[in-house]
Amino acid sequence: MTTNEPAPDDMPLCCSMYDVAVVGGGIVGLASARELILRHPTLSFILLEKEKDLAIHQSGHNSGVIHSGIYYTPGSLKARLCGKGATMAYEYLDKKGLPYKRCGKLIVAVEREEIPRLKALYERGQKNNVRDLTMIDAKGIREREPYCRGLMALDSPYTGIVDWRLVSLAYGKDFQEAGGTVVTEYEASDMAMVKESPAGITDGMKYPIAIRDSKGTEVRCRYVLTCGGLYSDRLAQISGCSPDPRIVPFRGDYLVLKPEKHYLVRGNIYPVPDPRFPFLGVHFTPRMDGSVWLGPNAVLAFKREGYKLYDFDARDFGDALSFRGLQKLVMNNLVYGVGEMYRGVFIGAQVKILKKFIPELSLSDVLRGPAGVRAQALDRDGNLVDDFVFDVGVGDVGSRVLHVRNAPSPAATSSLAIAEMVADEVERRFSL
- pLDDT digits 0-9 by tens, 77-86: 999 999 999 9
pTM of the predicted structure, to 2 decimals: 0.93
Q: Judge whether residue 199 has pLDDT over 90.
A: no
What's the pLDDT at 204? 60
Query: pLDDT of 154-176, one tens digit each?
Result: 999 999 999 999 999 999 999 99
Confidence of residue 198 (pLDDT cuts 50, 70, 90): low
**pLDDT class for 6, splitting at 50, 70, 90?**
very low
**pLDDT category of residue 285 using cuts at 50, 70 and 90:** very high
- The neighbouring-strand residues paired with 377 are 247
Q: Percent helix, strand and coil across the chain, each rounded to 5?
A: 35, 25, 40
Q: Burial, 221: exposed, middle or buried (Cβ in 10 Å; 0-12, 13-18, 19+)?
A: buried
pLDDT band at 225 (very low <50, low <70, confident <90, very high): very high
pLDDT tens readout for residues 39-67: 999 999 999 999 999 999 999 999 999 99
CA nearest neighbour of 272 among 162, 120, 401: 120
138 touches 148 (CB < 8 A): no
Please, what is the average pLDDT of the chain? 92
Q: Say whether 123 sits in a helix, a strand or coil.
A: helix
pLDDT of amino acid 202: 61
Q: At residue 402, does pLDDT exceed 70? A: yes
